Every structure is written in C-alpha cells, then in structure tokens.
Amino acid sequence: MDSNAKSNPTLHLHFAHYLLFLYLASSYYLSFGDGLPILKCIEKERRALLSFKQDLTDPSGHVTKVDLRKRVGFFGKSRLLSIAPIDEEDWKELAYERSSNSSLGGKINPSLLSLKHLIYLDLSKNNFRGIPIPKFFGQLKSLKYLNVSFASFAGEVPSSLGNLSNLSYIDLSSDFISPSVVSSGLSSSLGNLSNLNYLDLSNDFISSSIISSGNLNWLSHLTSLKYLNLNGVNLGSTGASWLHAVNMMPSLLELHLSSCEIENLPLSLRSINFTSLLILDISKNDIRSSFPSWFFNLTSLRKLDLSYNSVTGPIPSEFTSIKYLEYLDLSGDELEGQIPEFIGNLCRLKILNLNENKFVGGIEELLNGFSNCTENRLESLLDLSYNRLESELPASLVMLHKLQYLNLGFNNFQGSIPEFIRNLSSLKTLSFSYNLMNGSIPESLGQLSELVHLDLSWN
C-alpha cells in the first residue's frame, strides 16, 4: 500500500482496536441513546454474529468489551465487520500482545455466510496461529473489501477467492511468522476481478515466495488496479514478464517490488502505458544496469526508490523530466561521478538519499541547482554519507534551512565546521563523522534548538 499514499490516491485505511464494526440496513429499527445510533439486528444475523464471536479466542477480552453502540452507523443495506486494530497506538499494543499470546485467534465460524450483504471483512493484525484462510470466504459474494493480512494465517490461500467478483480491495500479505501461499489457480482467477483496485500479495518471509510467479499474464487483466504490492515475491525467474504485465495497467498509481530478486530491467520499452504512476519502489533487488530510459516517461512520479541494487553509471540528466519527485532514494548502488547540478532543479524534493555510492568531488554544484528553486527546497533529509566527496562545506548549504536530517559522514570533507551551520535551524540530526575536518567546535551549534543527534566523531 510509502509518498504519501497514506493521505491519498490509493486506499490505505486505518481502523480501531479489536473493533466489531457493523453497518446494518436502514430498514431495521433505529433508535438513539446518548446521541448514538442503536440498531436492532434481525435475529438470524444476531445469531450469526454470536456464533462468530464465540469461536474466537480473546485472551485480552477486547471483543467482549466492545460497546457496539459506539461502533454502529449506516451504509445502505451493507454490513461491515472488522476485528482489526485501528491506529498506531493499537498496533504497538497488538505487537506486544502477539508476543504475549493475548491477541485474537481461534476459528472463523462459517456463520458469516448468513450476512448476505457483508461487503467489508477485516481480520488483519490478529493471531490465528497458522490456520488456513477459510474456503467459504469465496461464497461471500457481496464482499468488496477483504483484509486478512498479518493475522498469522498459513497454508494455501483458497482459489475460491477469485470468485468474489465485487472485490475492489484484497490484502493477502503475510508476515514472517506464518506465510500463506497463493496457488497458481488463485493468482490466475484474480485476473478476473475487473473491479479490483488494491492488491497486496507481499511477503515478509524472506526465504519464501507466497505466489506462483511463473506466469504473470493474469496481472495484465487488472486494468482498474491502482495499488499493487508484490514485495518479497520472487520474480527472478519471470524475466521482464512482470514489467510487460504492469505496462497493461493504465490506472496504476503505486507499484511496490522490493526484495523480489529482480536482476535485469529492460533498458527500453516500445510504449509506456502506466504513466499515471506516483510511487515506484524497486529497492533491494539485484539490478545491474544503468537507468532504463523508460523511467523518464513516468513523469508523474512522486517517489522513486531504487536503493540497494547495483545500478551503475552517472545520474542521467533525463531525471529533470520527473519534475514532481518528492522522494528520491538511490542509496546502496554503484553510482559514480559528481552529484550533478540538475538534481537540485527537482524543486519539489523533500528527501534525497544518495548514500553508499561512489560519488566524488564537492556538493556545490548540487546546491547551485537548489538555488534556482523559489521554495520547497529539501525539507526532510539529505544523506550523502559513505561516498568519496571532498572539499570544504560551501556557504550555499544554508539555503536548506528547512532540512531536518543532514548526514555527510564517511567522506573526505575538510576544513572547520562553519559558523553558518547555526542557520540550519530545523536540524534534528547532523553528522560529519569520519571526515577530515579540523578546528574547534563552534559555539553556534548550541543555537540548533531542535537538534537531537550530533555526530562529529573521527575527524
């Protein structure tokens, strides 16, 4: 589903802790108490929910504490059922609870089939201790949203999920505890879900692939897809077929392919059909080539992450065509030469990470590029550590006065720490470690009131 898609063009959603969330038909009796709606379920659905609840194990008692009056609303005839944690604090609490064996588990009762109008089912971030995802989920024909991610389901994901023709959102991502396996039958049938706009099959279980990746042609049928996450899926044996499939998705906004064992990228494509893409993450693969020319047709990109590959050569001037970039991470590659001035012409950049490369020379050219920007110069992060940069720090560095994180460590910068550093008043982290700097530490560093981390070691 990182950029900020979280606000955004795609469908990241957050919901509260162990929530039993029901939207019931407006034709049912409605009354109000304390300003909150109270719904009287029809008897069949009430019994179904009780059966569902009774088969859950709830060591911490969260479900039994839920006040349904505070969790009820309307959505026509639709029903929404979620027992997922909602916000960041709940997720932190849940991480502890999983380790202390107190999160939700048990069985998923087929009584859910009585909820004929169920459109939303979220069982994510629980601990079902390796049971398989129930096959009967494929009979919940009204479902539009299904999230079973990070809930410790295991085994083969039922191919019957491909029958859920109304689905627009499906998250089958797995964690390192109990990876689920997507069968070739399911992956093929997913191609029939013409309404799908969010698909997450990512896998944190590093040594295993949750999806049969031999044939990815089914992906090309998902022409409405906006979000695709295949992080951790082994695409090494597919050649360029994944790219040709993606190129058939004109609506795609986010593409996540981190740790997919991709070795080669075609340097050119005959045509580019996914030019609406906003986020492209191909980090932590084994790409050993220069930048492919088709990258620079993705002119809508806000985030590009090619970190920890083996991308070679200098940074090409065609980068200026991606003028909306806000996040550029090329760290951990094999890039060389000087950091070019035209990178500074990307005036919307907030994060620039070029660490662990082979760049040489100074940084004045880069900063000269930023001088052409009237606003929106780097605000968050500039990391140029672990390169071969040298010279003294240029006074033009002060134009990055909104910068919060500056790391120039592990280079060959010389001279003293300049007094003008005090003008970088937003800095929270500053590192000049492992350089050739000398002289005294200026008192002006004490004026950096936001500074939390300062590293001047090994100079």
Q: What percent of the chain has pLDDT over 70?
A: 77
53 or 339: whose pLDDT is higher? 339
Closest CA relative to residue 386, chosen from 358, 414, 361:
358
Both tokens of 79, joined, read 């029903």
Mean pLDDT, residues 88-114: 65
- Whether the pLDDT of residue 431 is over 90: the answer is yes
Cβ distance 247 to 273 under 8 Å?
A: yes
Q: In which band, very low, low, confident or very high, does the pLDDT at 59 lie, cut at 50, 70 and 90?
A: confident
Q: Where are the alpha helices (DSSP H) in 317-414?
A: 364-370
Q: Is the pLDDT of residue 366 over 70?
A: yes
- Between 233 and 419, the more confident residue is 419
241, 247, 251, 255 alpha-carbon torsion, rounded to 10°: 50
Residue 35 has pLDDT above 50, yes or no: no
pLDDT band for 78, please (50, 70, 90 cuts): low
pLDDT over 70 at 342, yes or no: yes
In the chain, pLDDT over 90 holds for what percent of residues? Answer: 57
pLDDT at 53: 83
Residues in the chain: 459
pLDDT band for position 20 (50/70/90)? very low
Confidence of residue 211 (pLDDT cuts 50, 70, 90): low
Weakest mean pLDDT among 5-9, 122-126, 241-245, 256-260: 5-9
Q: Which of 63-67, 215-219, 243-247 has the lowest mean pLDDT?
A: 63-67
Which residue has 């300062």 as its token pair?
A: 454
Q: What is the CA radius of gyration of the chain?
A: 26
Sign for the CA dihedral angle at 145, 149, 155, 156 comes to: positive
Mean pLDDT of 335-364: 97
Q: How many angstroms separate the CA atoms of 267 and 333, rounded?
A: 17
Choose between 116 and 386: higher pLDDT: 386
Query: Which residues face 174 on adjacent strands?
Result: 203
In this structure, of 4-18, 230-244, 278-292, 376-390, the range with the lowest mean pLDDT score is: 4-18
pLDDT class of 457 with cuts at 50, 70, 90: very high
| Mean pLDDT in residue range 138-159 | 90
Which band of pLDDT confidence, cut at 50, 70 and 90, is reported for residue 403?
Answer: very high
Mean pLDDT to the nearest integer, 338-348: 95
Question: pLDDT by residue (tens digit) across 42-58?
Answer: 778 778 888 888 898 88
Residue 142 corresponds to which amino acid?
Answer: S
Q: Residue 5: what pLDDT?
A: 41
pLDDT band at 103 (very low <50, low <70, confident <90, very high): confident
Q: For the chain, what is the largest distance between any 2 Cα atoms, rounded to a whole number of angstroms? A: 80
- What pLDDT does residue 137 have? 96
What domains sit in the chain, N to C, each tagged with a CATH number?
A: 45-262 (3.80.10.10)
Of 166, 83, 169, 172, the residue nearest 126 (C-alpha): 83
Residue type, 250: P
Q: Which two tokens stand for residue 262?
A: 């991709």
Q: How much is the mean pLDDT over the chain?
A: 82
Vertex 22: Cα angle to 18 and 25 (nearest 5): 180
Residue 128 or 406, more confident? 406
What pTM value is reported for the model? Answer: 0.86
Task: State whether residue 391 is helix, strand or coil.
Answer: strand
Q: Which residue has the higher pLDDT, 6 or 360?
A: 360
Q: Per-residue confidence at 187, pLDDT binned at 50, 70, 90?
A: confident
Residue keyed to tokens 């003294």 = 392
Decide if 120 contacts 79 (C-beta within 8 A).
Answer: yes
Lowest mean pLDDT among 62-66, 87-91, 228-232, 374-378: 87-91
Q: What is the pLDDT of residue 182?
A: 64
Of the segments 82-96, 107-121, 277-291, which one has the largest average pLDDT value? 277-291
pLDDT of 190 higher than 70: yes
Band of the pLDDT at 18, cuts 50, 70, 90?
very low
pLDDT at position 65 = 56
